[in-house]
Amino acid sequence: MNVSVVLFTADLRLRDHPPLRAAGDASRQVVPLFVRDPAVDRAGFAVPNRMAFLADCLRDLDAGLRERGGRLIVRSGDVVAQVCTVAAEAGAGDIHMASDVSAYAQHREERLRRALEAQGRRLHVHDTVTTVQPPGVVTPASSDHFAVFTPYFRHWERQALRGVLTAPRAVRVPDGIGSEPLPSRGSVTGVSPRLATGGEAEARRRLAAWLRRGIDDYADRQDVLAADGTSRLSPHLHFGTLSPVELVHRAREAGGPGGEAFTRQLAWRDFHRQVLAARPDASTADYRTRHDRWRSGPAAERDLRAWQEGCTGYPLVDAAMRQLRHEGWMHNRGRLLTAFFLTKTLYVDWRAGARHFLDLLVDGDVANNQLNWQWAAGTGTDTRPNRVLNPVLQARRYDPAGAYVRRWVPELARLRPPAVFEPWRLRGTGRAAVDYPDPVVGLAEGLARFKEARARA
Ligand SMILES: Cc1cc2nc3c(=O)[nH]c(=O)nc-3n(C[C@H](O)[C@H](O)[C@H](O)COP(=O)(O)OP(=O)(O)OC[C@H]3O[C@@H](n4cnc5c(N)ncnc54)[C@H](O)[C@@H]3O)c2cc1C
């Protein structure tokens, strides 16, 4: 056959793209296709921050293809019906795509395979496009996936790593294949004011800057909230404008404690993916139930709203929640702290927190989000499910000068340590001058409620 279709999904790049390479090697012409499937939108994907970032990615992918003589074909509708239609229009015998792990992705692959086979076409699904190691390759003797990170990481590190592929020099698209107009960021409303820019070109700029100045200090700075010392590559990994395999190569080349710590975080990403691939229901159901009877009713709703709005009275929690709203992104230490705070101190169901994160995060990702939430809630893979994080101690440790809090909580901009950690301890005119709420719950009270609930469960 002379024509292949490449279905782009969470891999919106031209460099290090095994499906594109395989299609280009096997066929004279290639149809690069992206389908906007309403089923993905219905599942909660179509939130403004990710739609805006996606629009950037598609435009940049189209521009990259045009530089090579091609273009991106965009269609809307059921992904299976659209792929079959485009394949028939182009007379394509082979369809290439990346494997993925969610229940939706697994079902999509099965449906596509059946529908294409019924038309006499072949589906080729490529691993190591959206993950470094495919789920199911690094497994313990007794199970289909690792439930604990450390042994997973030991095995993961020892696996062979495939080489990085260059982008194709030319992409020839058959004539006469119609495309819908590309979406544009400008048409999306409700986007966070400081949302990052999407697209492979921007991803490469960020990566280059990160490798030049960033990765070497990563091990020391990754947890310092005000330092902003992490890569901020997560949206690019989520949309696939960067290849995780390439990032591991680059991190190993960089070496040192920074390169090692960064590689470890990339392994966490694969770890959650292999859990979700084996247990797709973990996107909504407890991975390991603790028989929680989460709080509900007006008081719990009020606490959830205070948390969402960044008005809990705990400065570090509030700073992180406000960063989320403003940037569509939050520092990992902030994500951990706010998730522990909601599920343990406030004892509110992790699903409510995960939903709020997915509504705003530009990197909002079923595997990473839901399983990190479960980790924090103690219903996931944390080996110490009942541990709690104290937001005051966390602030003293990870924001010792209070700079992160002052950046995001302007009401506290004039406070210095120790008042910036515990503004409720201010007295008299000092307290009156600060327009900031008292804590929604005392830490001792929250802890006692959580312990009692888990003891009962
Ligand atoms: C409650 C909670 C929810 C989260 N939701 C998401 C989400 O929806 N999408 C998402 O990509 N990450 C999520 N994370 C993981 C992590 O917080 C982000 O990946 C990280 O903050 C992104 O910033 P960065 O790119 O600067 O990370 P860096 O520190 O530079 O790390 C590099 C990359 O490693 C991966 N990584 C880092 N930490 C983790 C981790 N704990 N688990 C899995 N992968 C990791 C990410 O792909 C990240 O881009 C969540 C963490 C928590 C605690």
Binding residue numbers for FAD: 218, 230-234, 262, 363-365
Within a 10 A sphere around the Cβ of 281, how many other Cβ atoms?
A: 10
Rounded distance from Cα 361 to ligand 1 centre (Å): 11
Query: What pLDDT is stored for residue 202 in this prediction?
Result: 98
**Mean pLDDT lowest for which of 65-69, 331-335, 383-387?**
383-387
Domains defined along the chain, listed by start: 3-129 (3.40.50.620), 131-162+201-278 (1.25.40.80), 298-456 (1.10.579.10)
Residue 49 near residue 192 (C-beta atoms within 8 A): yes
Rounded distance from Cα 178 to ligand 1 centre (Å): 37
Which of the four pLDDT bands, split at 50, 70 and 90, describes residue 43?
A: confident
Residue 399 near residue 226 (C-beta atoms within 8 A): yes
Among candidate residues 219, 198, 328, 200, the one with its CA nearest the CA of residue 263: 219
Closest ligand 1 atom to Cα of 363: 9
Give yes or no for residue 457 having a pLDDT over 80: no
Among candidate residues 319, 349, 347, 346, the one with its CA nearest the CA of residue 335: 319
Handedness of CA 190, 195, 197, 198 (dihedral sign): negative
Rounded distance from Cα 331 to ligand 1 centre (Å): 8
Q: What is the mean pLDDT of the chain?
A: 96
Residue 407 near residue 194 (C-beta atoms within 8 A): no
Give yes or no for residue 330 having a pLDDT over 90: yes
Give the amino acid at 328: G
405-454 pLDDT per residue, tens:
999 999 999 999 999 999 999 999 999 999 999 999 999 999 999 999 99
276-288 pLDDT per residue, tens:
999 999 999 999 9
Rounded distance from Cα 32 to ligand 1 centre (Å): 29
Among candidate residues 273, 281, 200, 186, the one with its CA nearest the CA of residue 233: 200
Give yes or no for residue 45 having a pLDDT over 90: no
Which of 221, 273, 368, 379 best tests ligand 1's pocket when mutated (most atoms within 8 Å of CB)?
368
Read out DSSP for 176-227? T---PPPP-GGG--S--TTPPP-SHHHHHHHHHHHHHTTGGGHHHHTT-GGG
Which of the four pLDDT bands, split at 50, 70 and 90, describes residue 41?
A: confident
Q: Which residues line ligand 1 (CB under 6 A)?
A: 222, 230-234, 237-238, 265-266, 268-269, 272, 332, 335-336, 339, 357, 361, 363-365, 368-369, 372-373, 376
Binding residue numbers: 218, 230-234, 262, 363-365
What is the token pair recorded at 418? 């120790």
Residue nearest atom 23 of ligand 1, based on CA coordinates: 232
131-152 pLDDT per residue, tens:
999 998 889 988 999 999 999 9
Q: What is the dihedral of CA 315, 318, 319, 323, to 10 degrees?
A: 180
Within a 10 A sphere around the Cβ of 87, how many other Cβ atoms?
A: 24
Cα separation, 402 vs 418, in Å, equals 9
Share of the chain above pLDDT 90, in %: 94
83-130 pLDDT per residue, tens:
999 999 999 999 999 999 988 999 999 999 999 999 999 999 999 999
Give yes or no for residue 40 having a pLDDT over 90: no
Rounded distance from Cα 369 to ligand 1 centre (Å): 8
Angle between helical axes of 244-254 and 256-278 (0-180°, round to 10) = 150
Query: What pLDDT is stored for residue 24 in this prediction?
Result: 96
Rounded distance from Cα 53 to ligand 1 centre (Å): 17
Residue nearest atom 38 of ligand 1, based on CA coordinates: 265
Which of the four pLDDT bands, split at 50, 70 and 90, describes residue 226?
A: very high
Q: Is the pTM of this model over 0.85?
A: yes
What is the mean pLDDT of the segment spanning 361-384?
96
Q: Are strands 3-8 and 94-98 parallel, antiparallel or unpaired?
A: parallel
Among candidate residues 449, 408, 401, 395, the one with its CA nearest the CA of residue 309: 408
Residue 184 near residue 59 (C-beta atoms within 8 A): yes
In the block, tokens 């950046």 appear at 407
Residues 6+ away with beta carbon under 8 Å from 457: 290, 291, 292, 293
Residue nearest atom 53 of ligand 1, based on CA coordinates: 336
Q: What share of the chain is helix, strand, coil (3-state, %, to 5)?
A: 55, 5, 40
Query: What pLDDT is stored for residue 138 in this prediction?
Result: 86
Residue nearest atom 18 of ligand 1, based on CA coordinates: 332
Which of the four pLDDT bands, split at 50, 70 and 90, describes residue 1?
A: low
